[in-house]
Structure 1
């Protein structure tokens, strides 16, 4: 039986180590930390390369915004003022150090595109490199459903999480209201996409979602918790499967 929640280093715990989010340097530090999982964000370039970055754009040396999905990996590597880490090499580093990967997909295939083939490609690479030592999370219901179907065929124990709590405020007000309500009452969405992991922003976890998920025997991942007291409380909450933090070492401090 799991005695405490697992711990995940958010964006490779770059804030704790003082490095850039999702950077090679932050990954090197994260694999040395006392965490079970290392979380990172994945985007897809125009030529299909999967890379680590949180936002959908990078800024070049002149401060110009470059959309990752509109540029090739070679072009981005030439223009970016930092090294853009490839997805596969990040997975290989984690596997070499015995860490699990928390893969947060920030891209989605065009709706109905070949069974969400882009997400499936990412899952296949993870399975090849990590075997079963990874989870997949996304805010896109269609992606979750496609990945759950994939997992049923290829890796039944893999957890695929629907992320709640990150609604884009640029949505039309009525659409935003519907999305917000669906995050407070996510049962229908979770049933339809077949998510077997609920990924909740910490304020949503406080409302009633922990109790709701626990009654349905659904694993819960809470993000992103940095307050030391709150982090320790959630780590020791039997209803929580995993907590992600920018400062995971705080969970290990004495009360």
Structure 2
């Protein structure tokens, strides 16, 4: 349909409704996109035994893919509607009068993908940008870059350059919608977007982020004060501040979109341009504020993201048997040192060897730890035990699972064993039979737990030995959990949310969060009702859990504000 311009005469107060329209649109779009995304995830069958799939698996696959395609098309059409909306507000019926929705134009889809990539860093710090909020980077992907200041600087420089090019080509989409070819639109946008306007938009974004940072500090300070006031409920106050901060995020997103889609276009004589902005009445300002807070409250309610009423204290699990830098991970050296801290469980990793034994090591490729380019599955246990592992100044020999279990049982230390499975044994029951024959009875007798990324192996173990407690590792929270007779889920902590915790508990199963190492993450998880926290620093975690519970909410709220995982 052709673009129709809004009324030539400005309706009093119509501009003041812009923020309400955009905020409601963002909330509804993100909610519907998330709903379809979760529905599609639940439909998608596991990609194994694909050649023997029944017809129902193929139907679910195509239906799931159709949902993903529908989400993308809705995003592309929404970007075009943003241009319709803001250009109708800013311009007369001149240059953009021939704009039409282009449903399947390849160039438009390429530009929308470009915008989505540019929006991902902003969505990961809380901006409620459409579709980008669905793609959250978990901390285990980000953490390896955190300690390298030169790498961080290079990434930031790359992002800045990417954003500059994004702004430079911002007018490509409306130009294509107006009938220009894709390459004509590229040349037009490059010519029409002046450097002054690009710098102006960059300054607006910078100011936006700075203001959000200041507000984050103020909210943290207020919650810190409330945490020390006995007559106030720290949890209820933190949830109220969460609503307020979420509303501020929506307002910041509106300002960002308004400047991108509206102020990025140069003002010319034939544009509708008002030198004097209309005065906004107190009633209009109050309505806008109330509407923004209402959207923030609706967002928190839909995501079920409030800090829950605590009904459990999480168990402490030492990741790879470590307590800080107290030895080589997964070694007897670190085990003996860590048991003095008395964690509830020690987690270790095991690999299946060439001679059908199990060795305690995390990585399948041993190059980093031993200097030898070997894979555990291709080497005998006898040879592996001759290798020396080196880690942060510590050295230790590799050991078998039998040796590790015996030493743990000497100290009456319970274990959480992660079974690592390379692709060659992913669909084989040999590993399962061998493992249960060698260790099943001992693990059951000692009260140890098992978990793995390989759900088939866990299902086979549970079928053959139902009394063993087994868990599925979920490396990224999509809120669509794999079904099965597992006893618990081990989920990546930074993508975890209250909705997922409640969903798992409604299944009468437990949730273990991995791997939280900084105090902020530990204090946040301690008020999220998770059943266990896996960490490289169990002593630090135990000291936090031993502190008064009401002192946790300032750090928990800060964690929420700094790493927003809320989709809508």
Query: Normalising by structure 2, what TM-score?
Result: 0.37
Report the counterpart of residue 7 of structure 1 in structure 2: 316
Distance change (3 Å), C-alpha of 1:185 and 1:74: same
Q: How many residues align?
A: 227
Residue 27 of structure 1 and its aligned partner are, at CA, apart by 0.9
CA deviation map 1:77-114 (0-9, x unaligned): 3344541111011111111211111000112673553x
Report the counterpart of residue 451 of structure 2 in structure 1: 137
Residue 233 of structure 1 and its aligned partner are, at CA, apart by 4.1
Distance change (3 Å), C-alpha of 1:213 and 1:70: same
1:121 aligns with 2:434: yes
Contact kept, 8 Å, 1:60 with 1:80, in 2: the verdict is no
SS in 1 for 2:415: strand
Contact kept, 8 Å, 2:326 with 2:337, in 1: the verdict is no
Gaps of 5+ in 1: 166-179
Report the counterpart of residue 147 of structure 2 in structure 1: none
CA deviation map 1:197-217 (0-9, x unaligned): 111010232363112112222
Residue pairs, 1:25-40, within 5 angstroms: 25-40=333-348
1:202 aligns with 2:516: no
In 2: Cα distance, 1:96 partner to 1:232 partner: 32
In 2: Cα distance, 1:241 partner to 1:30 partner: 21
SS in 1 for 2:470: strand
From the two aligned structures, give the one with the greater helix fraction.
Answer: 2
Segment of structure 1 superposing worse, 213-222 or 224-233: 224-233
Residue 36 of structure 1 and its aligned partner are, at CA, apart by 1.0
Segment of structure 1 superposing worse, 89-98 or 54-63: 54-63
Report the counterpart of residue 70 of structure 1 in structure 2: 378
Which of 344, 363, 367 does residue 59 from structure 1 map onto? 367
Residue 18 of structure 1 and its aligned partner are, at CA, apart by 2.6
Which of 529, 533, 541 does residue 243 from structure 1 map onto? 533
Report the counterpart of residue 174 of structure 1 in structure 2: none
Contact kept, 8 Å, 2:312 with 2:531, in 1: the verdict is no
In 1: Cα distance, 2:436 partner to 2:449 partner: 9
Residue 248 of structure 1 and its aligned partner are, at CA, apart by 0.8
1:186 aligns with 2:480: yes
In 1: Cα distance, 2:317 partner to 2:488 partner: 15
CA deviation map 1:145-196 (0-9, x unaligned): 10110222xxx2x32111011xxxxxxxxxxxxxx6xx51333x2x2x4222
Which of 107, 110, 132 does residue 421 from structure 2 map onto? 107
Higher relative contact order (CA 8 A, sep 6+): 1
Report the counterpart of residue 161 of structure 1 in structure 2: 471
Contact kept, 8 Å, 2:470 with 2:486, in 1: the verdict is yes
Contact kept, 8 Å, 1:39 with 1:101, in 2: the verdict is yes
Contact kept, 8 Å, 1:223 with 1:243, in 2: the verdict is yes
Residue pairs, 1:9-24, within 5 angstroms: 9-14=318-323, 16-24=324-332
Gaps of 5+ in 2: 1-310, 390-395, 552-568
Contact kept, 8 Å, 1:6 with 1:243, in 2: the verdict is yes
